[in-house]
Structure formats: structure tokens, C-alpha cells
Amino acid sequence: MDAGDRAIRIIRTVVDTLRPGFAVKLWTGERLGPLTGPTLVLHDPAIVWRLLRRPNLDTLVELWVSKAVDIEDGTLFDIFERRPEGKLRAKLKTLPKMGLLRDLPVILFSGNPTRKAAGLAARDPLVSGSSAEAIRHHYDISNAFYRLFLDERMVYSCGYFTDFSNGIDQAQKDKLEHICRKLRLKPGERLLDIGCGWGAMLIYAAKHYGVTGHGVSLSEQQTGLARERIRAEGLDDRITIEIKSYTELRGSFDKICSIGMFEHLGIANHATYFSSVRRLLKPDGIYLHHAITRRAKSGMRRTLRKGAEYKALIRYIFPGAEVDTIGMTLGSLETHNFLAYDTENLREHYARTCRLWAERLRTRFDEAIAEVGEARARLWLLYLTGCSIGFQRGSMQVFQTVAVRRGKGFSILPPTRADLYR
């Protein structure tokens, strides 16, 4: 019996033991499990060898990206929803070890070649804080690519679903409106958007609330398109965008927002960031902080430990990124003389947002492949699906926090929040 036959026998044993709710189709055409429904397709007989040699999440990512593993008659969401019941680690312990051991040595020493997701991993992804190069790695892929799955305004952050049956265009419009209300924007005020992306927040606030907007970004492609969109709206005289760091900004602003940018800073740079925001915000101003967080655990070391999913995300998608907990965020605001007033968890909203993004990308997958190549298109589909699942399970969260500079007397915020939900 050669290595390929032994690999098939191992896969059969694993499927029989785990009994997933989806089928598994081998490179030989053999189908294991249900006769219909979502099917995990294994194209490469070297899959078992690769997992034995390097049994980690990076290997699974590379198997998916290289198309050694694929899905028929379903999606990644379908496979997740039909995963084996119970804890996977406990079920793996029930595998017949003696039977597997007779096959493993032959496979391990079969000398199968290994393939990696070449060119997709970032250089120095585990450093604290995203450099301009790291920002380009994620955001300067292609504006046309992002247009395939984002909403009509190209908002690349959590939507706000006043009804979970709403589409992504409505959810992003409602999110921008929600933020404008939380900031209590008024005509003539100066609004700063730190990490302004394709300019959607600035354009919406200028059009609907009469503010003068300024944005900063480190992405050249995003800034180029944002400026085109501003010109098309006839808002050149009211909105400006610069490619620079927030640390280089001078002047003062009535209102400041940061929407999905904070995660790129790195925890080591948080003090500099909050000091800069306080310096730029007028004494009676309002700051809105919108950022992904992780779940706090017992002890700071456990909380800040980077698990396998976290490491894969920053290696392939967000190099240099780090997320804190909501407790750390609130503590940092207080340390830098802010008072936090409202904190809203939008976890379910981001789970829905990422799912809609993934579904839209899958619908236009051929166009995505033509734009960025099949490997990167598959990587982004995996990333968006994984993020949706992470927010759904609560391992990832996203909060909007409204804060003001600490001072004597009452703040400018109204006594209730009834106006937000009128």
C-alpha cells in the first residue's frame, strides 16, 4: 500500500470518527458522508502529509488558498455550520491511534512537496503597529477589488442594521447617520476623520450636516479615489484629505472620529494616539472611537496572547495590527483625561456585515480573480468568512465609544440619548 492509499485510509477514519454534517470528496472521486449538500473537496493527495508535517492554521490557510481544498454545493459558512458537534479536540482524542500509527510513518517519509501561499504573507507581520508598507499590503490591493463587495459608498467598517433584513447599502448609510448623531454634528463645525478610507464619512457629514471635514490616511489608492469622490460631489472647498500620520496634524477640531483605524496602531502606540486626539480636540468637543476589541481573560498575559487565528489574520491580512479590550480602551481614555459617556457593542452588526461582504465577493468571484488573482481572492473570502464567524461567536467584538475631554462642569452632551433613536 503506497502513501496515497494510506492517506485515504486516514481520511476515512477521521470522517467516520468526527461525522461532520458535510460530505468529503477525495481526489479519487470517492465521496464520504452525506450524499447531497455542502462538500469539502480534497484535490491534493499530499494534504495529509502537509498537515502531519505542519499541523497548524497556516497550513490550512495555504491548503485553501492554493485550492488543494475547495467546496462544492455550498460555502465556507455551510461547512462551519455543519461542523462536528461537540469540542473538536475531545473528538480527536477518540481516533483509533494504533490504526493511524501504522500509516503515519509511510506518509511522513513519502517526501511529498509542500506548497505555500507565496507572496501573500506580509513581511514582519508580528511587529506592534502597522507601517505605511503594512497599510499598503491591505488597502492598496485594488480599489476595483474592494468595490466588488463593499457598499455603494465604499465603507470598510461595521454596518449598523436598524433591521437585520436590510442590505449593506442601507446598513452603511444608517451607520454614518448613527455616528453623525452621536457626534452631534452642527453646520460649520470642523470634523477630523482619522483613517478616513475612501472618504464616505466626510462626504456624508458634509452633505447632510454642513460640516467642514479633514481626513488623514496612509493609503495612496484610497486617498486618490476619495479625492475623486469628493470632487464628484462638489465638496472640494469643504473636505480635504492628506496622506500623513495623525501625529503630524496641527490645529483643533470640534469633533473627531476614528472608525476602524485604531486596530492598526499597535498597543505600544496607544498613549501617543490618545494624547494626539486630546491635543487636537477642542475643550468642548466630542470624540467617537470605533474599534474592534478582543475578549478580556484572567491576567494581562493571557489577554494579550496571540492565538493561532489572531496570528494568521495579521500574517496574511492586517500586518502589525493589535486589538485591545474594551476595558483597556476605556482605561486609556480616562488616563488621557477623557470622560467616556456611551459605549455600544455592535458585535452582531459586524457579523452580519462581514457575512454580506463574503456573499457579495463570492457572487462576483470571477471578477475578483481577474482583478487580484485567484489566490488573493480566495484568501479574502476566507478572511471575511472567518471574521463573520468570529464576531458571531463573540471571540471578536466591536465597540463605539463616545468621549469628551475632562473638564469642570457639565459636558455638552444632552441628558438622555433619545435623539439618537428618533
Catalytic residue chosen out of the listed positions 180, 196, 354, 387: 387
Does 354 qualify as catalytic in the annotation? no
pLDDT at 1 over 70: no
Q: Of residues 276 and 136, which shows the higher confidence score? A: 276
Q: Measure the CA–CA gap between 60 and 47, rounded to whole angstroms.
A: 9
Around 23, how many Cα atoms within 13 Å sit in the side-chain half-sphere? 18
**Rounded to 5 degrees, what angle do the CA atoms 244, 246, 250 make?**
95
Of 344, 204, 341, give the one whose Cα is nearest residue 286: 341
Give me the pLDDT at residue 107, please: 78
| pLDDT digit string, tens, across residues 158-204 | 999 999 999 999 999 999 999 999 999 999 999 999 999 999 999 99
C-alpha grid cell, residue 71: 467546496
* Strands of the sheet with 69-72, listed across from one edge: 31-32, 23-25, 39-42, 69-72
pLDDT at 249 over 70: yes
Give me the pLDDT at residue 135, please: 76
Give me the pLDDT at residue 56, please: 86
Q: Measure the CA–CA gap between 263 and 318, rounded to whole angstroms.
A: 9
| pLDDT digit string, tens, across residues 15-37 | 998 899 999 999 999 999 999 99
Give me the pLDDT at residue 189, please: 98
| pLDDT digit string, tens, across residues 87-138 | 777 777 788 877 777 877 777 777 665 555 556 765 565 566 767 777 777 8
Give me the pLDDT at residue 164, please: 96
Bridge partner residues of 258 (DSSP): 289
Would you tell me how many other CB atoms lie within 10 Å of the CB of residue 150?
A: 23
User: Given pLDDT bands bounded at 50, 70 and 90, which one contains residue 284?
Assistant: very high
Mean pLDDT of the region 329-342: 97
Give me the pLDDT at residue 126, please: 58
Neighbouring residues of 224: CB distance < 8 A, sequence distance ≥ 6: 143
- Tell me the CA distances in angstroms from 116 to 63, 64, 238, 388, one per residue in order: 8, 10, 48, 25
| pTM tops 0.85 | yes
Residue 179 CA, distance from chain mean position: 20
Phi/psi at 144 (nearest 5 deg)?
Answer: -65, -35
**Mean pLDDT computed over every residue of the chain:** 91
Give me the pLDDT at residue 287, please: 98
Q: In this prediction, what percent of the chain has a pLDDT beyond 90?
A: 70
Around 326, how many Cα atoms within 13 Å sit in the side-chain half-sphere? 17
Q: Measure the CA–CA gap between 271 and 66, rounded to whole angstroms.
A: 41
37: left (phi over 0), alpha (psi -120 to 50) or beta: left
195: left (phi over 0), alpha (psi -120 to 50) or beta: left
Give me the pLDDT at residue 118, please: 54
Q: Contact at 8 Å (CB) between 249 and 231?
A: no
- Tell me the CA distances in angstroms from 9 to 72, 104, 105, 350, one per residue in order: 22, 11, 14, 41
Strands annotated E in 54-145: 69-72
Task: Walk me through the domains of the chain, giving residue ranges and CATH numbers.
Answer: 3-108 (no CATH), 132-421 (3.40.50.150)
